Amino acid sequence: MSFLTSIVQGGLLGGYYAIVACGLSFMFGVMKIINLAHGVLTILAAFALWAIADKLEYDPFLALIVVLPAMGGLGWLLQRAILERSARSGELVPILSTFGLAIVLENTLFEQFGADTRSLAPYVGSLSYDSVDLGAGVRIGKLAILTFVVAVLLLGGLQLFLIYTHLGRAIRATAEDPETVELVGVNSRSVNAIAAAIALVTVGLAGLFLGLRTSFDPYAGSMQLIFAFEAAVIGGAGSLWGTLAGGIVLGIAQTLGAHLHPQGFLLAGHGAFLLVLMGRLYVSGPHFLFFRRAKLG
């Protein structure tokens, strides 16, 4: 694999990271909660798609029609039953409750599906290994291109939604100040629940592309959470397009790392994350809070 190919493939991998980071970043932007169950929920969506594809022999893309609304409903429930209540006890309690939820979910998945690794790739024909020749010896996968295009559409769509729709404006206003929006007739509880639903719909999408790109098992969630977090931080979370940039940087660092050393993939990704973090702390001084600064949209 040539150096140039690594960079192009790494950049496209960033498309997947943008999709998986989008929900995490969005939820933090609105509710100031970092959901530690984010990664496990991605795996849950992937298993749901796999189960439908395997048992009912539906195309995973078609299965989205069922899984995305279900994830949305789950997001609404998550906000109402867990996040809202734990956020009332302070900013630390949601970390504990979402961590507890993650443990419950991943072990329930293990109980249900066992330790076997699964993949959605067998259910989509040749999509996962078809590739396009770009010339100069660079070949890239069709799936990687599709993922990247979906990431751009998702982020762009979300941005347009936040800017131009009534609900989008209500979400941005709630993110600014949940008490004040109540004064102008916005029900911030409902808005938060809807925002959580939207976040989990993007998690459903992330589950699809995770399953198409690679194999997964019940405990693969923590890595997805870490990747999502790293992409969001590198890009300066809260900013949707920053998430894409962060994903691209993470993807390129990982593929180049893998190029250099068999264990380099993960280390290079973490290294890039820590370097960006240190750089930003150095620039912004001691009171830097990367998530707080960012405005939604």
Partner 1 sequence: MSDNSQISVERWNNLSVSVAIMVVVLFVLFAVTPMFVSEAAVDKLTILFIYVVLAVMWNALAGYGGMISAGQQAFFGLGAYLTIRFSEWGIEPYVALVISALLAGLSALVISGIVLRLRAGEFAIGMWVIAECVRLLVNLDPIIQGDTGRSLIALSALDPIERRELTYWISLGSMGLSLGVTFILLRSQLGSSIQAIRDSEEAAASVGVRVAATKRILFVIAAAGCALAGGLWLATFTTFQPRSFFGIQWSAYMIFMVLVGGIGRFEGPVLGAVIFFLIERWLGGTGVWYLIALGLVALIFSLFLPKGIWGYIEDRFHILLLPVGYRIRAPIVTSGESAHPGESSHNAQVF
Question: Which among 15-23, 108-116, 190-198, 245-253 is the span making contact with partner 1, rule CB under 8 A?
Answer: 108-116
Alpha carbon distance 241, 118 (integer Å) = 31
Among residues 46, 197, 210, 225, the one that binds partner 1 under rule CB under 8 A: 225
Return the amino acid letter for 218: P
Among residues 222, 241, 245, 259, the one that binds partner 1 under rule CB under 8 A: 222
Question: Which among 11-19, 105-113, 120-128, 140-148 is the span making contact with partner 1, rule CB under 8 A?
Answer: 105-113
Residues that contact partner 1, how many (by CB under 8 A): 49
Residue 186, Ramachandran bin (φ over 0: left; ψ between -120 and 50: alpha; else beta): beta
Alpha carbon distance 22, 209 (integer Å) = 13
Closest C-alpha to 266, from 233, 232, 227, 221:
227
Please give the residues from 184 up to 213 whose contact with partner 1 meets the rule CB under 8 A: none
Alpha carbon distance 281, 250 (integer Å) = 19
Alpha carbon distance 201, 178 (integer Å) = 23
Strands (E) across 53-188 are located at: 131-133, 139-141
Among residues 130, 278, 293, 295, the one that binds partner 1 under rule CB under 8 A: 278
Alpha carbon distance 83, 123 (integer Å) = 35
* 286 binding partner 1? (CB under 8 A): yes
- Contact pattern for partner 1 over residues 9 through 38, marking x by CB under 8 A: -------------------x----xx-x--
Please give the residues from 46 up to 85 whose contact with partner 1 meets the rule CB under 8 A: 82, 85
Residues that bind partner 1 (CB under 8 A): 28, 33-34, 36, 82, 85-86, 89-97, 99-105, 107-108, 110-111, 222, 225-226, 229-230, 233, 263, 266-267, 270-271, 273-274, 277-278, 281, 286, 288-292
